[in-house]
Chains A and B, each alone.
Chain A
Amino acid sequence: MTAKISFQGVGKTFSSRGRQLSALEDITFEVRRGEFLALVGPSGCGKSTLLDLLAGLSAPTTGEILVDGAPVTGPGLDRGVVFQQYALLPWRTAQANVEFGLEAKGVARRERADRARHFLDLVGLSGFGDRYPHELSGGMKQRVAIARSLAFDPDVLLMDEPFAALDAQTRDSLQDELLRIWERTNKTILFITHGIDEAVYLGQRVAVMTSRPGRIKKIIDIPLGSRTETEDLRSDPTFARYRHEIWTLLRDEVVKAQAQEHAADHWGTAGERRPRWHGLARSRPPRRGRRPGPAPTSDHQEAGVD
């Protein structure tokens, strides 16, 4: 098998308030043609940044990404992105949403309708074409989003935690559907998740990322064969072994990530990420009361004095 996607020494640095934050460092790995590769990592390790780079939505600071040997210079219809929050246009019906990508591709109107219907059928939504997103359940919305990405026939499907917002049962059935679709369409899929079970269940290989700055820690082969032919694969002892192996790899990273967050909290180096600050502030007793005098005006000042 040949490399469909190739990351070569890719790094991404964000600068914020004069500080440099390294999100990704020296990412080098390949995704084979027609492969289903799952990517797991602790939260905040730069998984989504990596996907943005591959989608061409932002440019890497160092290194380059090749698709079919050609460097990625921007978004393109050879790669389809499926987002966790569906990103459906709420004023369009399911059918018209699937047609959206085809409009971008410049497909003729008649053919657009036919193809949209075909792909809605493929994701099991026959007869739901005239529904608006707000009339569909979360699982159905994600099916529409998948149909939309498949319809313009990209070689590569980039999926950013697509099932994370769904309930367990819907998630299980969509995982099976995705595998079925993948087997039928021969797409190359890069699937980002924070679920270990999901990664082992879906991926032919699972890439484990380190905590920030994100690197590829290890890529593990999961030679479990066709998932759709085995019944209840998740309770197979081999499945459990892989699951445990990845769990061990990730645990160290999660511990490190938490230590990072803690240190950052203490020294104020995590000031770039406001939400995290507030999250931590809620789970701890207020620190303001410790110091006499006027209340500090910002978290930064406070951390500085500390």
Chain B
Amino acid sequence: MTSTAYSTRADTTTATVDSSPDESAPFAGDAGPFRRRRPVALVGAVAQRTAAIAALLAVWETFPRLNLVDPTFLPPLSQVIEAWWTLATTGQLAQHVEASLARSLSGFGLAILVAVPLGLLIGWYRPVATLLNPLLEVFRNTAALALLPVFVLILGLGETSKIAIILYGCAWPILLNTISGVRTVDPLLVKSARSLGLSPLRLFGKVVLPAAVPTIFTGIRLAGAYSILILIAAELVGAKAGLGYLITYAQFNFDVPDMYAGIITISAIGLVINQLLVLLEHRFSSWRTS
């Protein structure tokens, strides 16, 4: 039981997170011609895009009803939605979502505040890079979740350790992308700005930083996805609220529909956060198209 539930949840979350950046990128680019199409074609396109999801939902509803899968472990979708509605109307869901988002956004926000300046420093100053690179190599190859017990040991079971582990996990993609963004600035632009006699600081502010923004945003978008992934794992241990807690608690009490309701909510939040970040990224890097 435990293993089935766990793997289903894990699969759903990873699949959402992995596929969303790839699918959203061409979608954002398609948006223009998409709007200009004739209504019939538009309906067709919408149908094409939603077909797979619709099929999944249909399977979810019918298979348990036909007893093709055990409805105890996978209740039909309608029951899950019912459970979700009850959770939503009683205010329980809001409470869990609030607790989760607070953790996730604080960790994510702090990661941006820490990793972007640090990445700029490492990317721009060669000595800093030489000094810190070996350390970075060691830690970037250590899975964030492997360190969760360490965080719990040192920072306790409370909010601090949860936010800290999210901060830690989110910092990596931001840090690495910021470093590479600064390093890969077109040398000709730097040369051209230098020929204007710009001081190193103004050169950084006017050329290097703006040139690195799109790459930094890619890191931030990845970190947004990580913040949700790590959040759930962090909430499996010693939490009293939050969607991760809801999922494990429901599973523990055999409230299987509630468990799925939690899973659906978390994947919806993941999708929304990713979409928002994609939009933001697109806005900041529109000059990079073509």
A interface residues with partner B (beta carbon < 8 Å): 55-57, 74-77, 79-81, 83, 85, 87, 89-91, 100-101, 103-104, 132-134, 152
Closest-by-CB residue of A relative to B188 is A87
Docked pose: A124 CA to B172 CA in angstroms: 48
With A87-B192, A89-B210 already in contact, the answer to whether A76 and B287 are too (CB < 8 A) is: no
Check A81–B290 contact: CB distance below 8 A. no
Docked pose: A140 CA to B191 CA in angstroms: 21
Chain A residues, Cβ within 8 Å of B211: 89-91
B interface residues with partner A (beta carbon < 8 Å): 188-189, 191-198, 202, 206-207, 210-211, 213, 287-290
Closest-by-CB residue of A relative to B285 is A91
Check A75–B194 contact: CB distance below 8 A. yes
Chain A residues, Cβ within 8 Å of B213: 91
Check A87–B189 contact: CB distance below 8 A. yes
Check B196–A75 contact: CB distance below 8 A. yes
Check A83–B196 contact: CB distance below 8 A. no
Check A91–B287 contact: CB distance below 8 A. yes
Check B197–A104 contact: CB distance below 8 A. yes
Check A57–B206 contact: CB distance below 8 A. no
Interface of B, helix, strand, loop or mixed by DSSP: helix
Check A77–B207 contact: CB distance below 8 A. no
A-B contact pairs, 6 of them (CB 8 A): A56-B197, A57-B191, A74-B197, A90-B287, A91-B210, A134-B287
Closest-by-CB residue of B relative to A77 is B197
With A74-B197, A77-B197 already in contact, the answer to whether A89 and B207 are too (CB < 8 A) is: yes
Docked pose: A132 CA to B193 CA in angstroms: 18
Chain B residues, Cβ within 8 Å of A55: 195
Q: In the assembled complex, how far is the CB of residue A22 from the closest CB belonging to chain B, in whole angstroms?
A: 23
With A87-B188, A89-B189, A89-B210 already in contact, the answer to whether A104 and B194 are too (CB < 8 A) is: no
Docked pose: A90 CA to B285 CA in angstroms: 10
Docked pose: A87 CA to B187 CA in angstroms: 9
Which residue of B195, B198, B202 is within 8 Å of A57 (Cβ)?
Answer: B195
Check A83–B288 contact: CB distance below 8 A. no
Check B289–A100 contact: CB distance below 8 A. no
With A91-B210, A100-B206, A134-B289 already in contact, the answer to whether A83 and B192 are too (CB < 8 A) is: yes
Docked pose: A132 CA to B206 CA in angstroms: 17
Closest-by-CB residue of B relative to A104 is B196
Q: In the assembled complex, how far is the CB of residue B61 from the closest CB belonging to chain A, in whole angstroms?
A: 48
Most buried by B among A75, A80, A103, A133: A75
Q: In the assembled complex, how far is the CB of residue A98 from the closest CB belonging to chain B, in whole angstroms?
A: 12
Q: In the assembled complex, how far is the CB of residue B123 from the closest CB belonging to chain A, in whole angstroms?
A: 18
Closest-by-CB residue of A relative to B191 is A57
Which residue of B188, B196, B202, B210 is within 8 Å of A85 (Cβ)?
Answer: B188
Q: In the assembled complex, how far is the CB of residue B285 from the closest CB belonging to chain A, in whole angstroms?
A: 9
Check A81–B195 contact: CB distance below 8 A. yes
Docked pose: A75 CA to B193 CA in angstroms: 10
Check B287–A103 contact: CB distance below 8 A. no
